[in-house]
Structure 1
């Protein structure tokens, strides 16, 4: 075998193994809690599952790579802008991909602390010192060069990555209802295949977005065009949020210098980027069911179209340079919408589950899961915990998720103190994100600003979006007030128009009490 072939074999992603690892972990969690069940009206609940995993070369040679799960989460809800927490104590975005990323950050933090506390005592160390010492003189670590980060999702992420899937699903529904004049899935697939080069969709000359679109409004895109940035939730009649879609967030995390680790952890860890995304193909099998002529061939073509569209959506912030591999798994997530459709009556279809699960495996990889942590969440807090509070007071610790801003902030500070890193007195979350904990956080913010644009217009952008969103209906989305939003200049940042959380939401201390803005 040539050196090139051997390298390709070692780096090959086993999408089925990643899916199997995520599903086995999910099925091993307690059946009660925040898992989908049956609502009081008798309807079945469904959700979305996401999980992060790391892979590294096999130590025994039995296979090319070994995989270890580092986080898992379910969910598809978010808080409206009016309910955004000012104490950092409530999770405002409970989509599975976002929660799983938050959990992965905490796993990486604890794993690094464990490796530094027990040099040589942790089997298969994942971190190594970063060679550069230019970050304010503070040491930083990075994942070994042969370690890869992977994401599994039970369906295409909401936003730009799933626009065409929604089109095909609507076409399948129209065909089943024999809607006059509607395109069939075959016709729609033919349209996209005719616009391809070598079987793959061509990308537009400009990445990024001209404007922020609310939810799924105007989701249809012409072949080869770039998609708009989108917010959650999908229903235009729901209170507006400024949570960007999972597709947009994945595109941001994929930018060099950004990564999934976030600003705070960047003080200790170099950027961690996603090398592959594994998607369950079960949602696609309702578009070309087994009864359809040549179903498997058509399904294969559909996978090519949707995978390429997903890849372009996730890579669009890096100007067309592809870096994420998108692959499919045939494993069925039993709590998906499609799985529940199989057992639901036509009159009472499944409904989305309002709760979420966050699971963080034992970061040491030992102890038979004794240090693993699982949380059941509802409306951004721990399910069943009392959420009453006095005015201007944060939630009590028992009600807060371990991955909310406040809890994570405290965890990062605790780790820095445990490894002997100095921490400013009375540190404030906003200052930590801006880099007071180390130069790595400053570099992260600079990389993020490069693709999002300057922060000085953040509040104005949010206010403009909310003003338009309040006038929106299910069939009408008012256009932006300015031509600049519709037609940004060629040198505009790739993710022009991104909605950033207002600065006042980050001004709290380690106790969650609000502090004055500088």
Structure 2
């Protein structure tokens, strides 16, 4: 059943409207107005729509602070990433509800049928060795579709034409294109390559790092365009969530953007196998296991506009980016500043968001205690987060991600500075 793009947008926008004012952009005494991007995940079933996660925000953690995060500080709180992380927390919490209340059927999840269960892992390189077959206990019901609404074009390649159109002088910025990522451990003459933010904005089809401002501290957070492109192969599930929910039905069906932000040629180039992913041939995808595949989303435009978008600010008003990020699911909501809960210092562990790495790992451990099984016990009982992510049970996911990076998202450099901590 086709779902109307306006209805998807309305579902997210109406959910945001119900948030308390403290989680929204604030009025300024000098007359300036705050703005913020919004993104949300909507599930559709039998013609009914339900928003299950949303996020607002536009900032990320500098490279220099990654080693201090210790799993407590979010690396990236752009709206799209918060919405996806919140969706994963929603699924984990929903799994808990099902296991604790087995007589209450779920509208979204069902027990995994055998054909959707993950195949055995065969890694010989994992520090924790090869794991026996692991079957995620749940899968998203086949009649449930996943949709995503974004109030702005995702940063990165899908928004380059919009960036060019905003320039009084469309000549690309004079800053030379970098020959490597900002990761100092990589030789300046090595590949892969990536661009920072909007620099050299006429270079298209390239992986880009946040933030967009050239004077901001560098990061290794990839653009929202790049991360959304990757989800067409890896699904929306994080590693921990994929231990409990099979990825086969966890792909975005529709990506909805305001018509003012939707450039079809840009989205075709940025997201599809006719564009920069053309090197990802069928012969590569056919070798993927564990329920993974290339499942492209359809991009649609909507005439709906978010009332706190940058376009809502009049010509005579000063636009100020909001530093407050909202995180919402049906089960909880938060305000985040600087990657931690509002009102907490950044390095205070009590400021950890429910969707941070440590929080998600903790929910996984609770779920493993209810599900049981040697594989879950060994994986989620790893000494450090980095060792957990390196387990052989994630080999199928690693192969998918590696193929996508090698064949299309070249320049993607993995963040490795926030894994050497214990739960």
TM-score, normalising length from structure 2?
0.80
Q: d(CA) in 1 for partners of 2:108 and 2:295?
A: 29
Please give the alpha-carbon distance, in whole angstroms, between the structure 2 residues aligned to 1:426 and 1:252.
26
For 1:496, what is the secondary structure of its paired residue?
coil
Cα distance in structure 2, aligned partners of 1:97 and 1:318: 24
Residue in 2 aligned with 1:129? 112
Change (3 A) 1:14 1:126: farther
Query: 1:125 offset after TM fit, Å?
Result: 4.5
> Which of the pair has the greater relative contact order for Cα pairs under 8 Å at 6+ separation?
2
Partners of 1:429 and 1:507 within 8 A in 2: yes
Match of 2:386 in 1: 430
Task: Tell me the equivalent position of 2:92.
Answer: 109
Maintained 8 Å contact 1:88/1:406: yes
2:411 counterpart residue number: 497
Compared with structure 1, are the counterparts of its residues 125 and 260 closer, same or farther at alpha carbon in structure 2 (3 Å cutoff)? closer
Which residue does the alignment assign to 2:255?
Answer: 277
Residue equivalent to 2:269: 312
Counterparts in 2 of 1:133 and 1:23: CA distance versus 1, 3 Å: closer
Deviations 1:371-400 (A, max 9, x none): x2110011011001244x6xxxxx333x11
Larger radius of gyration: 1
**Alignment partners' CA distance in 2, 1:47 and 1:133:** 39
Partner SS state of residue 368, structure 2: helix
Query: What does the per-residue CA deviation read over 1:322-377, in whole Å, with 9 as the maximum and x for residues that have no partner?
Result: 821011111121110110x22x62xx52111122110011xxxxxxxxxx211001
2:140 to 120, 143, 147: 143
Q: Give the aligned partner of residue 373 of structure 1.
A: 332
- Give the match for residue 238 of structure 2: 262
Q: Which residue does 2:76 correspond to in 1?
A: 93
Closer, same or farther in 2 for the Cα pair 1:41/1:83, shift >3 Å? farther
How far apart are residue 169 of structure 1 and its match? 3.2
Relative to structure 1, is the Cα distance of residues 125 and 92 closer, same or farther in structure 2, using a 3 angstrom cutoff? closer
Shift of 1:86: 4.1
Tell me which residue corresponds to 1:419: 371
Q: For 1:240-389, what aligned pairs fall within 5 Å after superposition?
A: 240-255=218-233, 258-271=234-247, 272-281=250-259, 283=260, 306-315=263-272, 316-317=276-277, 319=279, 323-339=296-312, 341-342=313-314, 345=316, 348-361=317-330, 372-387=331-346
Aligned equivalent of 1:233: 211
**Equivalences for 1:393-412 in 2 at 5 Å?**
395-397=348-350, 399-412=351-364
Which segment drifts farther, 412-421 or 119-128? 119-128
CA distance 1:99–1:121, shift in 2 (3 Å): same
For the residue of structure 2 that corresponds to 1:261, the secondary structure is coil
2 CA distance for matches of 1:336 and 1:308?
23
d(CA) in 1 for partners of 2:323 and 2:83?
Answer: 16
Q: CA deviation at 1:112?
A: 2.4
| 1:71 is the counterpart of 2:53 | yes
C-alpha contact (below 8 Å) 2:37/2:309 kept by paired residues: yes
Hey, what does 1:513 align to over in structure 2?
Answer: none
> What's the CA shift for 1:139?
2.6
Aligned-pair distance for 1:41?
4.7
Aligned counterparts of 2:236 and 2:165: Cα–Cα separation in 1 = 31
Q: CA deviation at 1:317?
A: 3.6
Alpha carbons 1:86, 1:506 under 8 Å: kept? no
How far apart, CA to CA, are the structure 2 residues paired with 1:146 and 1:427?
Answer: 39
C-alpha separation between the residues in 2 aligned to 1:144 and 1:319? 32
Q: How far off is 1:507 after superposition?
A: 1.6
CA displacement 1:256-304 (0-9 Å, x = unmatched): xx111121222222222111100123x45xxxxxxxxxxxxxxxxxx5x
Contact 1:434 1:445 in 2 (8 A): no
Superposed CA deviations along residues 199-232 of structure 1, whole A, max 9, x for unmatched, are xxxxxxxxxx9730111011125xxxx5111011
In 1, are the aligned partners of 2:112 and 2:246 still within 8 Å (CA)?
A: no
Whole-angstrom distance in 1 between the partners of 2:337 and 2:385: 24
